[in-house]
A and B are shown apart, each in its own frame.
Chain A
Amino acid sequence: MNSAHPPFDPGIFGPDAIILKGLTGLNWRLKDYEARGGYQALKKILADRIAPDAVIAEVKKSALRGRGGAGFPAGLKWSFMPRQYAGPKYLVCNSDEGEPGTFKDRDILRYNPHTVIEGMLIAAYATGATAGYNYIHGEIWEIYERFEEAIAEARAAGYLGRNVLGSGLSFELYAHHGWGAYICGEETGLLESMEGKKGQPRFKPPFPASYGLYGRPTTVNNTETFAAVPWIIANGGQAYLELGRPNNGGTKIFSISGHVERPGNYELRLGTPFAKLLEMAGGVRGGRKLKAVIPGGSSAPVVPGEMMLATDLDYDSVAKAGSMLGSGAVIVIDETTCMVRALERLSYFYYEESCGQCTPCREGTGWMYRIVHRIETGKGRQGDLDLLYDVADNIMGRTICALGDAAALPVRSFVAHFRDEFQYHIEHGRCQVGSPAAREMAA
């Protein structure tokens, strides 16, 4: 699998890693996981018969926020599951990782799959879920197969199935795969997809906790969220909280890509300065100047480089810089990049991936792409930037799911921060970046 990947060195994932700590790429099996203390948190809960509400309280105390992008407090989400419910309740892991820039769930699942299984077991105990599914991005088939193997190991060892470790807890877990649709990362689109339909998001409310998979109470959490749970239970919510900052508990895996020397996953304490992450990733490729950063996956507003260098990586700090921590996908853009072309590619993505359900998104993403495309290809018109804003404003808040906003936010932020580049394209029919004048300005 992926033989071209550079060899592991100790601490490659960062000195404060907890989810990725001690991983070598080879030690993903059950026996390895148990050797580094795996499944002890689950055993502690089962042996001490800790009340489900106490487990939820511990997760609330940790300030663990949803790692898929929305940042919703995980413990609070669990507490929405109805206590008294006759019939099956479900737990779903969202590993449909397709937000451009994000590639952390893939590494969690291929290097440490059992931590996700243990996290799901603890969540099942806390929420009363009877069965679970891990919805894995179709493009990472080898990881899907590995997760099936990990499930089989856990089942054979008595961690999954009826009467887990003789405790009376019953929980079945299965792997489910996607097949190429970004929208299934949206939790209700994912549930529709799991039911064997087009992955078109549902109108909310009702939320999945009351009407989820097959109409049953369901909790959907991201892979990294589940992966953090065993550590929280083993070490306490307070200890996890203290790894990060108030309201931003724990560590976060940052996927850094684009113009850096060493792209990859780095697990850092929330609140770590962006400059530190950039340094760990070897700095901007070729010693060039940082131009801009998309700090939370392609849906997050772009931030100018200088502003980002003064920003810490936690939910609240990145929000103050006018963007979102999102999934922790940090896309680094250097001074040689044409921002019009960069936005054109992102706009094409949202146009391509809009599920077509809501008119503002279905039509608006196409309009935005075509306007940016004509600006990029030298056919831009005066007034196009106002038109772009107008279309973006008419998508935002007018769609069933967040894809519409996700398409509009990059457009608004790219134009807001790099308006002169767009204007140059419109007036001169060509790019400012790479022109002799731009090179002089950068020098």
Chain B
Amino acid sequence: MLSKESLQKIDAATAKYPPDQKQSAVMAALVVAQEEKGHLSTEVIEFVAGYLGMPPVAAYEVATFYGMYDLKPVGRHKLCICTNLPCALAGANEAAEHLKRKLGIGFNETTADGRITLKEAECFGACGDAPVMLVNNKKMVSFMTPEAIDKFLAELK
């Protein structure tokens, strides 16, 4: 179900916890699985649960509780823009409107070519760099004015 590389990453995460507490690695394992598969299908979640020796429902609870897991397919790039108050005071709503206009999609939608999914997000803890945007969960881009967004989108593969 998952590649050898992914399983090695999950094993490395598991090694951080006591041998009888493998479940502690489920969040890391689901991130690894999501990265390989693009999103978390029920089958992938069940596989991860089995690999860590926990009930499938317990892994499913985790996958549905935390906001950055994708249970449905997303575009090749997932852009999450924070619109919480500190970002909003610094122009996040304008940035979000600009993104929607440029991409021709709304929040929780994907461009017709399957390239970009746009989401609204809650605080990343980077309000001094507002507006901030998370690219594919792991890269944060800062000071996202409309001009910065244009530059960012032009450089995005």
> Are A and B physically bound partners?
yes
**A interface residues (Cβ-Cβ under 8 A, vs B):** 2, 4-5, 88, 97-103, 105-106, 133, 137-142, 174, 176-182, 193-199, 214, 255-259, 263-265, 294, 298, 329, 331-333, 337, 342, 345-346, 349, 352-353, 355
Does B24 reach chain A (CB closer than 8 Å)?
A: yes
**Which 4 residue pairs spanning A and B have beta carbons closest together?**
A180-B67, A196-B23, A180-B68, A257-B127
Cβ contact of A198, chosen from B25, B62, B67, B83, cutoff 8 A: B62
Interface residues of B in 118-157 (CB under 8 A from A): 121-130, 134, 137-143, 148
Are B21 and A195 in contact (CB-based, < 8 A)?
yes
Are B126 and A106 in contact (CB-based, < 8 A)?
yes
Chain B residue numbers with a CB within 8 Å of A333 are 89
Chain A residue numbers with a CB within 8 Å of B37 are none
For B145, the closest partner residue in chain A by CB is A4
Known: A179-B69, A196-B27. A331 touches B124 (CB 8 A): no
For B134, the closest partner residue in chain A by CB is A139
Known: A139-B134, A179-B69, A195-B24. A257 touches B128 (CB 8 A): yes
Chain B residue numbers with a CB within 8 Å of A137 are 124-125
Chain A residue numbers with a CB within 8 Å of B18 are 88, 214
**B interface residues (Cβ-Cβ under 8 A, vs A):** 16-18, 21, 23-28, 30-31, 52, 54, 58, 61-62, 65-69, 83-86, 88-90, 121-130, 134, 137-143, 148
Known: A139-B134, A195-B21, A352-B122. A178 touches B66 (CB 8 A): yes
Are B138 and A100 in contact (CB-based, < 8 A)?
no
- Within the assembled complex, what's the spacing in Å between the Cα atoms of A140 and B23? 23
For A198, the closest partner residue in chain B by CB is B65
Are A263 and B126 in contact (CB-based, < 8 A)?
no
- Within the assembled complex, what's the spacing in Å between the Cα atoms of A349 and B138? 22
Pairs A–B under 8 Å by Cβ, sample size 13 = A2-B129, A101-B86, A174-B16, A180-B66, A181-B65, A196-B54, A198-B61, A199-B65, A257-B86, A257-B127, A346-B85, A349-B84, A349-B123
In the assembled complex, the CB of B17 is this many whole angstroms from the nearest CB of chain A, namely 8
Chain A residue numbers with a CB within 8 Å of B127 are 100-103, 255, 257-258, 263, 329, 331
Chain B residue numbers with a CB within 8 Å of A331 are 85-86, 89, 127
For B21, the closest partner residue in chain A by CB is A214
Cβ contact of A179, chosen from B24, B27, B139, cutoff 8 A: B27
Are B143 and A4 in contact (CB-based, < 8 A)?
yes
- Within the assembled complex, what's the spacing in Å between the Cα atoms of A225 and B85? 26
- Within the assembled complex, what's the spacing in Å between the Cα atoms of A105 and B23? 27
- Within the assembled complex, what's the spacing in Å between the Cα atoms of A352 and B66? 11
Known: A140-B124, A195-B23, A265-B128. A179 touches B68 (CB 8 A): yes
Are A4 and B142 in contact (CB-based, < 8 A)?
yes
Of B21, B58, B85, B130, most A-chain CB atoms within 10 Å: B85
In the assembled complex, the CB of B44 is this many whole angstroms from the nearest CB of chain A, namely 15
In the assembled complex, the CB of A109 is this many whole angstroms from the nearest CB of chain B, namely 11
Chain B residue numbers with a CB within 8 Å of A181 are 65-67
Cβ contact of A197, chosen from B31, B62, B122, cutoff 8 A: B62
Given contacts A4-B129, A140-B125, A141-B138, 8 further A-B contacts (CB under 8 A): A103-B127, A139-B124, A141-B140, A193-B27, A196-B25, A196-B26, A198-B62, A199-B66
In the assembled complex, the CB of A336 is this many whole angstroms from the nearest CB of chain B, namely 10
Are B140 and A139 in contact (CB-based, < 8 A)?
yes
In the assembled complex, the CB of A405 is this many whole angstroms from the nearest CB of chain B, namely 18
For A145, the closest partner residue in chain B by CB is B138
- Within the assembled complex, what's the spacing in Å between the Cα atoms of A100 and B67? 16
Are A98 and B122 in contact (CB-based, < 8 A)?
yes
Chain A residue numbers with a CB within 8 Å of B90 are 257-258, 263
Cβ contact of B123, chosen from A98, A176, A258, cutoff 8 A: A98
For A410, the closest partner residue in chain B by CB is B85
Are A258 and B143 in contact (CB-based, < 8 A)?
no
Cβ contact of B122, chosen from A182, A265, A332, cutoff 8 A: A182
- Within the assembled complex, what's the spacing in Å between the Cα atoms of A264 and B30? 33
Are B123 and A182 in contact (CB-based, < 8 A)?
yes
For B88, the closest partner residue in chain A by CB is A345
- Within the assembled complex, what's the spacing in Å between the Cα atoms of A137 and B27? 12
